[in-house]
Structure 1
Amino acid sequence: MLLIRNLLYWLVVVFITPVFFVLLMISLPLPRRRRHIFGVTWAMTLLWTLEHVVGLKWRVIGAENIPDTPSVICSKHQSGWETFALQKIFPYQIYVAKRELLWIPLFGWGLAAMNPITINRSDRARSNQQIIEQGRERLSHGFWITVFPEGTRVPPGVPGKYKLGAARIATTLGMPLVPVAHNAGEFWARNAFLKHPGLITVVVGKPILPVDGATPESMMAEASAWIEARQSEIGGTGPNAHPGQKRVHSEDTRAA
């Protein structure tokens, strides 16, 4: 049954991706926020399919912490699931992404139409400048900015090295930094064909404000400490959980 559910999910991916790619290309002359409707709808369709076909449900703790003004979303990165779900949880946003993603047929071209901040990770000095320059321009259009500070997907239970890009945007542009923890990787492993049913927990922290005296280092230290503490609290419930975190599932963490 798990295989059949996943095959149905992948059939939806194969069917709708070209359709939404064409819609994105047609919408290029439109204002950015209107253009984003098509990309967000693609993500919401796949999120719905994961929930109702595969059985991968989710809950959000701390939604009341989401600010009213554009902010930097500083999220744990374990799977592809959060790239869909963050677009549901937060207002219109753009991602900071490595430029190589733009070279992927259809997906990359559609991503380019969504105006991400793209960086060359091999040139760190230039990438930091690109993040700020492009971030300022995206903020002028009212977009939130999503950053995965570890830079790549990290397995559950393994803390990555948090880079300063998200905090640099926050301090330079005067934006709140919103930390986000989740355990999606326990149900959707990196590069895995199979996605497992279950209940993903997302925790949104209180915004960290770029007050006087705040530095990228101090803001990221606070954000990473908060995220990793929450990861320890919510981890261990999925089939791909780190062996050191696995625990007996309680009633409130089982899939309905």
Structure 2
Amino acid sequence: MALIRSALFALVLLLITPVFAAVALLVTPLAPQTRYRIIGGWTSIAMWFIRHLLGIRHRVIGTEHLPDRPAVALCKHQSAWETIALQRILPPICFVLKRELLRLPFFGWGLARMPMIAIDRAAGKDALAQVVEQGRERLAEGFWVVVFPEGTRVAPGTTRRYKPGGAWLASHTGAPVVPIAHNAGEFWRRNAFVKTPGEIVVSIGPVIEGEGLTTEEINRRAEQWIEAEMRRLFPHHYPAEAA
């Protein structure tokens, strides 16, 4: 049954993505916030089918921690689910992503019309400059900036080194930092075609004020909170540590 539902979900995305890519081209002259709302219709449709077709629900805790001004969200990255769902959980957002994604047919073309931060990962330190330059613009436009500090999707129960891009942006702009933990990888695994039903818990942590802190300190505090929260909420993924 999960295989059939996953196949139908893939078909839904195959049908709606070219339509919204065309819509994205048509609304290019509009203001960024307006483009975000219109193109974001793709996300609303996808989330409906994620819940009602795939059977993947989600519950959010810690919304009282959300600041009333644009922030940098540092989020655990386990699947494609959070790249979709965060657009409905948080205020208007943009992602720091690889420039190559914008070249993907249909999906990338639509993505290019959204207020994203596209960087050249091969640029080394210049990539951090790109994040700050574009990130400052997005924050000024009222968008939150979402960064996956581990740089790639990781399996539940594992951790990769936290890279400094998001913390660097916060320390250079004074934007607050919001850490986010979740267990999406339990039901929507990395590169897995078949998704399984279940409830994803998304936990939003207390704000880390970026102003006056170094990049290293912001990164350390965010990693400390996220990894501790992962172990608190999902101890079954860390059996060796509980022994």
Interval containing the TM-score (normalised by the shorter chain): over 0.9
Aligned mates of 1:6, 1:85 — CA distance in 2:
17
Aligned mates of 1:135, 1:83 — CA distance in 2:
18
* Structure 1 residue identity aligned to 2:163: K
Contact conserved, 1:157 with 1:245, CA < 8 A, in 2? no
Distance 1:244 1:21, change over 3 A: farther
What is the match of residue 218 of structure 1?
217
What is the match of residue 60 of structure 1?
60
What is the CA-CA distance between 1:190 and the residue it aligns to?
0.8
Q: Matched residues, percent identical?
A: 47
Contact conserved, 2:21 with 2:110, CA < 8 A, in 1? yes
* Structure 2 residue identity aligned to 1:136: R
What is the match of residue 184 of structure 2?
184
Contact conserved, 1:79 with 1:188, CA < 8 A, in 2? yes
Aligned mates of 1:84, 1:228 — CA distance in 2:
22
Aligned mates of 2:21, 2:240 — CA distance in 1:
41
* DSSP 3-state at the match of 2:125: helix
What is the CA-CA distance between 1:242 and the residue it aligns to?
7.0
Tell me which stretches of 4 or more aligned residues in structure 1 moved more than 4 Å: 241-246
What is the CA-CA distance between 1:38 and the residue it aligns to?
2.8
Contact conserved, 2:231 with 2:238, CA < 8 A, in 1? no
Aligned mates of 1:131, 1:191 — CA distance in 2:
26
What is the CA-CA distance between 1:244 and the residue it aligns to?
5.3
What is the CA-CA distance between 1:164 and the residue it aligns to?
0.8
What is the match of residue 30 of structure 1?
30
Listed one character per residue, the Cα deviations across residues 43-74 of structure 1 (whole Å, up to 9, x for unaligned) are 12111111111100110010111111000011
Listed one character per residue, the Cα deviations across residues 77-103 of structure 1 (whole Å, up to 9, x for unaligned) are 000000111111111111100111112
Aligned mates of 1:151, 1:84 — CA distance in 2:
17
Aligned mates of 1:115, 1:60 — CA distance in 2:
25
What is the CA-CA distance between 1:228 and the residue it aligns to?
0.6
What is the match of residue 232 of structure 2?
233
Uncovered stretches (5+) of structure 2, i.e. residues with no partner: none
* Structure 2 residue identity aligned to 1:182: H
What is the match of residue 250 of structure 1?
none
TM-score, with normalisation over the residues of structure 1?
0.90
Q: What RMSD over aligned residues (CA atoms) do the two structures have, in Å?
A: 1.6
Uncovered stretches (5+) of structure 1, i.e. residues with no partner: 247-256
Aligned mates of 1:88, 1:52 — CA distance in 2:
16
* DSSP 3-state at the match of 2:209: coil
* DSSP 3-state at the match of 2:122: coil
